[in-house]
C-alpha cells in the first residue's frame, strides 16, 4: 500500500466532513510548502509536514479528530497572526480550527502557512 493510500485510509476513519476537509487541507499544505516531507503518524493520529527528521524540522501537522479538524503549527506561538486565527495556550504550538472549506481556501490561512515556512527557514539557517 502506497503512502497516498495509507493517508486516505487513515483519514477515512473520521466522519465524512472531517475527511473531506482534511483532503482539501492536505492539498493546500502540500501546494504551499514546496518539497515538504509528509509523514503519517498513526499512534499520534496526525499527518506531519517537515523538512527533516528532527522535531525542529516540523512546520505543521494536520490533526483530525471526532470533534473536528485542526492545522497545528510548530512554534506557532511565535508566528505573526494579525487575523487572530491561531488558537491554543501552549508555550510552543498553536493551531487553526478548520470548520469549513472557506477557512482552507482563505488567504489568511495561506499567509500563516507561508509565515510558518519563513520561521522554519530562519530557525534552520
Domain positions in the chain: 3-124
Task: Measure the CA angle with vertex 23, ends 65 and 47; round to 5°.
Answer: 55
108 pLDDT above the threshold of 90: yes
pLDDT of residue 50: 96
1 pLDDT above the threshold of 80: no
CATH of 3-124, one of 3.90.1150, 3.10.620, 3.40.50, 2.60.40: 3.90.1150
Which is it for the CA torsion 44, 34, 37, 31, positive or negative? positive
Per residue in 53-93, pLDDT (tens digit) is: 888 899 999 999 999 999 999 999 999 999 999 999 888 89
- Look at the block and give the residue holding cell 501537522: 61
Per residue in 48-58, pLDDT (tens digit) is: 999 988 888 99
Report the C-alpha gap between 103 and 21 in whole angstroms.
10
pLDDT of residue 13: 95
Amino acid at each position: 500500500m502506497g503512502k497516498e493510500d495509507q493517508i486516505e485510509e487513515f483519514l477515512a476513519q473520521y466522519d465524512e466532513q472531517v475527511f473531506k476537509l482534511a483532503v482539501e487541507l492536505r492539498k493546500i499544505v502540500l501546494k504551499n510548502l514546496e518539497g515538504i516531507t509528509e509523514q503519517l503518524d498513526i499512534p499520534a493520529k496526525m499527518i506531519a509536514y517537515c523538512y527533516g527528521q528532527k522535531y525542529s524540522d516540523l512546520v505543521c501537522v494536520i490533526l483530525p479528530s471526532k470533534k473536528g479538524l485542526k492545522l497545528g503549527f510548530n512554534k506557532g506561538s511565535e508566528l505573526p497572526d494579525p487575523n487572530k486565527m491561531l488558537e491554543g495556550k501552549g508555550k510552543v504550538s498553536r493551531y487553526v480550527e478548520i470548520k469549513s472549506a472557506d477557512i482552507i481556501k482563505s488567504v489568511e490561512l495561506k499567509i500563516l502557512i507561508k509565515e510558518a515556512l519563513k520561521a522554519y527557514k530562519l530557525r534552520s539557517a
